Amino acid sequence: MRLVIDVLGAPADSGGMRLYAEQLLRAWGQVAPEDQLVVVGAPWVAEVLAGHPSATVHVVPEGFAARAFGQWVRAGLVARRCRADALLSVSPLVSPFAGGRPEVCIAHDWRHVRHPAEFPRRQRLYRRLWAWSATHATRSIQISAKTDAETARIAPRARRVTVENGQDHPRSWPVVLPEADADPFVVTYGHHANKRPELVIRALRVAHAHLGSRPRLIVLGAAGGLRDRLRRTAVAQGLGDVVDFPGYVATPVYQQLVQRSRLVVLASSDEGFGLPVAEARYFGIPVLSTHDSGLSAIHGDRVDTAAATPDGLGAAMAELLREPARRRPPATVASWADTVRGIRAVLVEAAAQHAAAARRA
């Protein structure tokens, strides 16, 4: 197949979206190396696809305006020019300008519908196109049953197919053993407002009171003004000496931090899948989320949940930190190769139906 894959919905600093796009592209080269891929994306994509036998990259500069225009217009024009069999977007927005070719999008979450206040105005306007895109796309792929239920409600005419995320990427991580006698620490996330790092900081104070000790907290991804506000919150809570804000860390550092942590807290207001759950649980590290995140509907008892309050979350943090470290990988893990096979099957079917319709015409 000749495919154009639009990964502009996964900027370099997008966290889970970038991870999704990266793992998808890597696995695609293993599952179907014969496919000719033209990938439309930010500069980071060229590094990921270096050495791929049959992939080229159409680089679009980072930036909101370039990304929005690239997704809405440029990706479709690239598909036309390449005479692609299909256009795949890793986000819910797929260009309508592919010249009648199958256009397939991937829906991860509809957080902007549930929590519009978490987004600046321009992002809310941009995301209004998502429901239209999901409805008019040849197929709309959902990453979880939770997302599928939300799409059914928000874009009821979308032609939906569920292909769940892979979870086996931690297998490639270098194994890092816990450091003997090292101070315990908790990992959480702060790169987007929905991660609610301020709630986790306030909960840490409650956890300290329950434990009678002061484990550290590492807030990943918070930068700029958000980091400054969170640092002020930590100082106000009497936690300035035990909360760290390293910002975005290099991949090897991230992998080490997850593996050496005693607990990962994902206090999101809403999640479409929650890839940190897969990463932490692969190494047997407990994950704590909130009742309103939707993660228990996706991962079941692989996550512990608590009320989204400092008292509720803090008490649960303390309880999990008291437990002995549990570091047993799961027996089976869904693979990214299976994710590629599922998405590729959707594209093959859509391309065959398009070709058959063209012959009848």
* pLDDT score of 206: 98
CA distance 152 to 94: 18
| pLDDT tens track for 163-205 | 999 999 999 999 888 777 778 999 999 987 789 999 999 999 9
pTM of the full predicted structure?
0.90
CB 321 within 8 A of CB 262: yes
CATH of 2-166+335-360, one of 3.20.20.140, 3.40.50.2000, 3.10.450.50, 3.30.465.10: 3.40.50.2000
On the question of a common fold for 2-166+335-360 and 170-322, the answer reads: yes
Q: Tell me the three state secondary structure of residue 50.
A: coil
Helix %, strand %, coil % for the chain, to 5?
50, 15, 35
CA-closest candidate to residue 294, choices 279, 314, 274: 274
| pLDDT tens track for 204-256 | 999 999 999 999 999 999 999 999 999 999 999 999 999 999 999 999 999 99
Where do the domains of the chain lie? Answer: 2-166+335-360, 170-322
For residue 340, give both structure tokens.
């590629």
* pLDDT score of 357: 80
Q: Tell me the three state secondary structure of residue 27.
A: helix
Q: How many CA atoms lie within 13 A of 235 on its CB side?
A: 7
For residue 69, give both structure tokens.
């225009």
Angle of CA points 240, 250, 120, to nearest 5°? 70
CATH 3.40.50.2000 corresponds to the domain 170-322: yes
CA distance 254 to 298: 24
Q: Is 250 left (phi over 0), alpha (psi -120 to 50) or beta?
A: beta
CA distance 285 to 263: 6
Cα-based distances in Å from 19 to 205, 229, 234, 323: 31, 27, 29, 30
